[in-house]
Structure 1
């Protein structure tokens, strides 16, 4: 309602096809940021980050270092932001009458990326009544001051909009000590999701997992003549995603997939039963455990070596940049000295 009641309201309400609530909120943020201190929302916008640590901001060489699964999702996030900018340029141009500068200098890709990440990292879920002026469910809300509360996975809270008081209320279940930072919990998210959605990881996260990519399974089991058929069966039954290992061991989904992969083609009639949870003989179970061990070794050693090399390279570059800055500052300091 804040956006629709603003100077943008008439333009959003009259535009066809209808705009999404997310886009409307992003455009409002970008325009208000452009207004600077003249904006009524300046005190809030002024405390928002200038840039974010979300994949939408990652350089290509950083994205390339991500595990394959999260890299794919990071690229999807980048594409989503690009699409928001490129697909709505006609609407952006319609806003020229209310902008003090050319629209191409205000609603740039960088401005929309900043606004999108601001909404994605800081909004809370809040259901609004259906609005004929917008397309899709309107569930986004930005709540100043709520931004001050950081996530901690071991904290329990209750949060919702109170229709009686007209306020968004957060209550701590686990309590907060006096003079200590108050935390909230964004939900049971593993570190990949925290990085994708919020731009950070939580050390010691009890929900942390490592995702096992289907391509790695195929690589480990290369040579099995019936592998393609088994992979197809797993895919048809939606068993090739969310295959994970945690510090406590492999997930049920990963173990189930491996139990099926352990079966010969002659036991095709048992495949469905395995997906439903039926455990086969001890020999098949031992094969599944050994295969997981091979998977872990395959995942760990190359990644460790690659990251060590990248870390060394980046540290060397950092030293060079630091030395260069010192060299540039040296003559400047001498020029400032009194003669």
Structure 2
């Protein structure tokens, strides 16, 4: 065993306890903390989560009633159609009407898209009555023209828009037409007009091939408080139409307006699908109106479109858009004559309330001027 002895006379050095760290600064304040209370930094409490703010609801507009709209918009028609009226009045007011003058009258009417057959019928009547009259004042010529134009336009045609509900079932309006004619816009404007007349309207966005079509229709519906039934892009258009009519019945609305795809009349399959949409709707309700939207500025090119659509579905009325933008107002006469279907509505501008019920007398008076 090993024993260790401390030598005598030597003391062990005192043990110095460990020195605590200096936590005070100058003046006795804790180190790192400024005594000025205003400068004291504090950790803020955790922020409360910000709840998302809902976008403001769209302002519901109150559209004006549709009655008298064409009278109010007559000036726009007069600007585009007056050249036709002035030309005819000038020709018929000549002292001597020879064959060359009658040829000019025919050319003027054909150029305005009246059509060859109606033009020949009208000039034949005018020639007979001019011979009977002999000398002709400006007022007599104007009266003659007015009578003949009203006959051609069809002042006696029934242009009633059937949008009244049948008991507990709403009226159903199917809007058809090729791309670019203003079909979806017309659907929205028609909804506005009906709501302005006091009806409850529901819209069906059955143009599922063009994503913008449903969004555009939704915008129209939001503005006037009309609900829109829609589905994803590429959905079956017939199913959208069926759901829209079903909801219209459940909600007891007055009118359901179904906007269809802008089908190219050269694609037979698409025309067949349009017929399918109509048949599917008829499982729930009667289709009261099939409105064909035509662009008046296309003139006779729109006639082939009209004929093909008439074969695919039973077209009951024509909507002529952009009638204020063409001098060829004779398309009103020719399209009615070819299809045996009246023009019921006309578009006379870009504004939301520029769709008007067609009034033959206002139209003819706008052509002839005051």
Q: TM-score, normalised by structure 1?
A: 0.22
Larger radius of gyration: 2
Higher RCO structure (Cα 8 Å, ≥6 apart)? 2
Q: TM-score, normalised by structure 2?
A: 0.21
